[in-house]
Structure 1
Amino acid sequence: MPVSRSLLARGFVRVLAATAVALSVITLAGQVLQLRMADAEGTRGVIIAIILITLLSGPAAAVLALALAWRSWDRNDARALATFLALTAFVLSGDGVWWLMTMARAPEWLRSVTDLSIPVCALAGMTAMLRFSCSFPRPLTPAELADGGSRARRVLAAAQRRSLDAAAVRRVATGSILGLILVPESIRIVAEVVGRPLPNFTLLKYIVFGMLLSSMAVSALNLRAGYRGADADGRRRIYWVLEGFLLATGIAVLASLLKVLQDATGYVPPLRFWYGLSMMAAFAALLACVAIAMFYAGALDPALAIRRTAVAGLVGVAMVVTFATLEQVLQGYLGQWLGLSDRVGGILTGVGVGLTFEPLRTRTATFVEGVLARWTSAPSPASSPTSAPVLEAGARVEPA
């Protein structure tokens, strides 16, 4: 990558990440205002859940992108990941765009034009995500992509081989942005301005979501192939990234299938924004795993690694936030269902969620401690020869 182009891309990532943080602040301010005006417990619970997930998603992705942009921009995989995270941060903070346009009292057509930046960044992020999956922890080769087995496996292998061609992926993304978003939506916006409104292009939205889910699945398969072909140190570096992509892909695919079923049947769920919350939760899980890979395993840059106690503390904070989110969401619905007061509903919900949540928290903490201990403990005499490089690598990324 030429120096001038690299510097331009680096500046773009920094500006986009900073913009995402600013939009998150605007979103939080708007949600807090809605929270004060909400009169139903169910509504307040949903708003609090949105606030907490907003805090865990957009700003977190922006911070990760900025860390890579400042410290590890010389690596190809770090550049691709930083670009993906910056674009993802903007998408996850997209509600801030709507709040900004609302506060500015912008005309409807300008709001619609500005809203197009969200799906455009999503498809652009797909390109960076695929680029990262093909280059981390080392460049993937076509020979590592097995194409045997079922027809579905052969189709996925063909898609993986296609993703190795960066120029082809960029062409597909550019064509999709123009043909599926900018051109048809521009026509619809102009038609609405001149007084001849057109229906929403729902089919195109399904195609865009299908492309995003497919790119997530292909990225997860690419990382899995990279994990299988990596040495001990490479597997240590890619482990948490792979887990994050697998978890996020599973949540996103399941939520999307339920969304399609909902649209087909016309069912109206009690929680209106459940699909958006599910997608934000999927990316929050991905970001958590990427953060562990970056700041504990030193996956992208050993200089970014922090100590084991800090990672365990972050996991504890994430569990507390998850508890608070569940408690607030369930409290409103329990109060509406049983006709309980705010105080009684809060007590019953807190006790119920606490009794259920404590065993989960204990098992999660034990699992995390066990995984971290395997990377930081000295190898025992009975350790296998293949485990020593992993333990030594884990010790190298932890600063003194």
Structure 2
Amino acid sequence: MADPGGGAVCNGTLHSQNKDCHSENGTVREAQQNGNSNFYKPIVESFEEAPLYAVILTYMGYGIGTLFGYLRDFLRNLGIEKCNAAVEREEQKDFVPLYQNFENFYTRNLYMRVRDNWNRPICSAPGALFDVMERVSDDYNWTFRFTGRIIKDVINMGSYNFLGLAAKYDESMRTVKDVLETYGLGVSSTRQEMGTLDKHKELEDLVSKFLNVEAAMVFGMGFATNSMNIPALVGKGCLILSDELNHASLVLGARLSGATIRIFKHNNMQSLEKLLRDAVIYGQPRTHRAWKKILILVEGIYSMEGSIVHLPQIVALKKKYKAYLYIDEAHSIGSVGPSGRGVVEFFGMDPRDVDVCMGTFTKSFGASGGYIAGRKDLVDYLRVHSHSAAYATSMSPPIAEQIIRSMKFIMGLDGTTQE
């Protein structure tokens, strides 16, 4: 396979303002020669730095909290202070501990002090504003009780409802109601047994059309889409090159696979190319045999940082070193690109440049679950070998219908908008 990059691929760092570096990339030159001027967009990312005093005060707060935590643990061991955390029963003291005391230190002494800021139950649709159930604690956040009061119109700052499609019921949701009445709440079976319905087939065909790929397979849980399918794609004798800021589901899937894992610096093409070059030159440890597969794991948009993957450079490296590319578009599909088709469309690239396209329906589509899309032989392989298809309950039919109506709305196929 010819080298599409024409040499070293430009390094893209978060605060880089050097556009000349991007213009020298061979991938860009080739794309411009082919008339695809939108193939590459210079990425200039800038993130606000925390003020120094805020950093110092934050670390001081954690330090003081840790010191008082050890003091309070000492008092709890002496019986002076009551311990409300989960502990072993006295008659099980000779057993292997079920609760690791040190691992629970943060939860016990720091998180509990600010726990009232999280896990707050809501009692309305997750729109821009929602209603929250008021709760109070009489024991410093170890337990809560509800007062019965509803706090109205609280600003929603923690929802995945990117496009507002998980809003209150309206006439457009009638199809979801009809499917609920026809199929019921769930399938109660796996995809490989009796869990594949015509609604799943309809959704998979729509996903493949939306992404402009050959085939797609849907799963009932987004997290499991990564953690249960990566082990089916790679294993012992394979190499995974993972971005250091990848989501926990990607990390878990990589660990469960049994493949060798190496981490490259976030969006740093020099770091990735060095790992690729070393993998090709030196092969596997000890035996120095060639790796069975080299899989690059990245995200479209990194959820904690908000940064976007430098996809053109990664694709150039993938082709140069004959590796495979797995991209998680959980936070970009439906909300990025001129028509919502994710970062692949955002960069004007060919979907065939990405070997495994993964995404979830939790964010933009107002539902739950995930998908794997790409070549037909890849999807057919996963239908047989995916742990999720073999052991996990199939996607609920009403959820599948909600995704279908949301995707048709984005594609302009619902009769109300034009594509």
TM-score where L is the length of structure 1: 0.25
Q: TM-score of the superposition, structure 2-length normalised?
A: 0.24
Larger helix proportion of the pair? 1
The answer to which structure, 1 or 2, has the higher relative contact order (CA under 8 A, 6+ apart) is 2
Larger Rg: 2
Structure whose residues are more often strand by fraction: 2
